[in-house]
Amino acid sequence: MAFWRVREELSQENRLRRSYYELLRDEFDQHMLRHALIDSYNNFVSNKISYPFVEKRELKPRARIPGIEYEHQNAFLVIFVEDTIPTAHKKHIRFFGVNKTTKANLLRYNTLPLTEKFDRNQKYLESAHFLDLLKVLLPVDYALLIQRDPASKARNRFSLSHFHVRIDWPIADAAEDLACSLRYISKDLYEKGDKYAEDIQKKFFEYYGLSIEVGGRRTAAIVAAQYLKKIPCIATVYAGSSESRALIRISERGASRSVLMKLNSDEMDQIAETHNLTPRTFKKNYVVAREKNDGICIFQATYYFTNYARPPDDGKLREIKPDLNWLTVSGQHIIPKPGVWKYPPLPLNFIYT
């Protein structure tokens, strides 16, 4: 059973809200891709540093990413929720009056390039200046929270309601919550011993496509994604990491990872021919940057849960088996550059070639 209500279970009012949320999310995806990947690439170029492209082995579900932090890679964490998070959850998702996106709160942060001319309507996603505010706040520590504005009764409005939002829920509690839902434990993380509890926590990271060694925003992202299952609506978590050089996106459909990929001229021509595109059309709509004769594209890997990462059909308790994979690669695509409407993602078998 899904932890959120599927469309068929919603009222007409909430179906409309779901549609509007998904429309806004599609647009927001484009902004996140640009900030996480294209803007980061330009940071390296402007500093005359070669971009550290992600290797295909790093995109495999159980891969360990080299622990190198790249200062020019944009790092951030954004939580985008379909509804309003009830105040009862503030204990673990720390959004309060002091970190609300008010003019007074924002001006208290001397590091933010804001002026007295700040317009409070900038925080709404439909505002023409929303992206200006978003770009200023993305580098702030912890997370940004976008949720439905409860004050807008007549229509659905979504706003960047809070910044500097801490995810204050222990990893052990998040792993326990997941293991209970998958019926690997009945109640307590340590009910089958320390080794079993350690295996569960490793599998918790694998469930979201990460290695247990990662930290920072990526860990906060998966803990937030797990906690948000307690709220009966859909939510999307975006994480940019200076180590992974990727945009990690976690939604009700699972996790995906988008990275920059370098293709030579022959590879671009071959992909274009496979999909009945002219080389010129491919380069115009899929290439985000050029390095001499090479093209830089956005590659997206999507992941799907195996049976071991889904609740058992019979609902009975079962034993965890650490060697079994919880994720599989379900999709590999070169996606259009942000802003392109006409052309779809192009399937490309890359990870296992």
pLDDT tens per residue across span 207-218: 999 988 887 899
Mean pLDDT lowest for which of 2-11, 19-28, 167-176, 277-286?
Answer: 2-11
What's the token pair of residue 291? 């390095």
Q: Residue 86: what pLDDT?
A: 95
> What share of the chain in percent tops pLDDT 70?
98
- On whether the CB atoms of residues 199 and 175 are closer than 8 A, the answer is no
The DSSP output letter for 4 is S
Mean pLDDT lowest for which of 143-147, 208-212, 234-238, 322-326?
Answer: 208-212
Q: How far apart are CA 98 and CA 105, in angstroms?
A: 6
- pLDDT-derived band at 64 (thresholds 50, 70, 90) equals confident
When pLDDT is averaged across residues 244-263 and rounded to a whole number, the result is: 96
- On whether the CB atoms of residues 161 and 94 are closer than 8 A, the answer is no
What's the token pair of residue 258? 């988008």
Longest dimension (CA), the chain: 60
CA distances from 157 to 93, 100, 139, 160, 234 (A): 21, 16, 24, 10, 16
DSSP alpha helix (H) spans, the chain: 12-33, 39-46, 103-107, 130-137, 171-181, 194-207, 216-227, 265-274, 279-286
Q: Residue 115: what pLDDT?
A: 62
3-state secondary structure 104-160: HHHHCCCCCCCCCCCCHHHHECCCCCHHHHHHHHCCCCCEEEEEECCCCCCCCCEEE
> For residue 1, is pLDDT > 60?
no
What's the token pair of residue 166? 């801490």
When pLDDT is averaged across residues 34-43 and rounded to a whole number, the result is: 98
For residue 289, the cross-strand partners are 296
Instruction: Report which of 186, 2, 166 is spatially closest to residue 89, judged by C-alpha positions.
Output: 166
Q: Residue 5: what pLDDT?
A: 84
Q: Residue 287: what pLDDT?
A: 98
What's the token pair of residue 209? 């496509």
Q: Residue 40: what pLDDT?
A: 98
When pLDDT is averaged across residues 250-265 and rounded to a whole number, the result is: 96
Instruction: Report which of 326, 214, 59 is spatially closest to residue 223, judged by C-alpha positions.
Output: 214
Q: How far apart are CA 226 and CA 264, in angstroms?
A: 40
When pLDDT is averaged across residues 40-50 and rounded to a whole number, the result is: 97
Regarding predicted confidence, which is higher, 67 or 194? 194
pLDDT tens per residue across span 102-131: 988 888 877 677 665 778 889 999 999 999
Residue in the block written with tokens 């988008």: 258
- On whether the CB atoms of residues 231 and 81 are closer than 8 A, the answer is yes
CA distances from 66 to 69, 186, 299 (A): 9, 36, 19
Q: Residue 116: what pLDDT?
A: 59
pLDDT tens per residue across span 126-184: 999 999 999 999 998 899 999 999 887 778 899 999 999 999 999 999 999 999 999 99
If you average pLDDT over every residue of the chain, what do you get? 93
Instruction: Kindly provide the b/e burial profile for residues 134-165, where b requires at least 16 CB atoms within 10 angstroms of the residue's own CB.
Output: bebbbebebbbbbbbbeeeeeebbbbbbbbbb
Cβ neighbors of 341 (< 8 A, separation 6 or more) are none
Residue in the block written with tokens 């006409």: 342
Q: Residue 142: what pLDDT?
A: 92
For the whole model, what pTM was predicted?
A: 0.95
Regarding predicted confidence, which is higher, 94 or 63? 94
Q: How far apart are CA 44 and CA 67, in angstroms?
A: 18
Residue in the block written with tokens 């490309």: 348
What's the token pair of residue 311? 């609740």
Q: Residue 111: what pLDDT?
A: 64
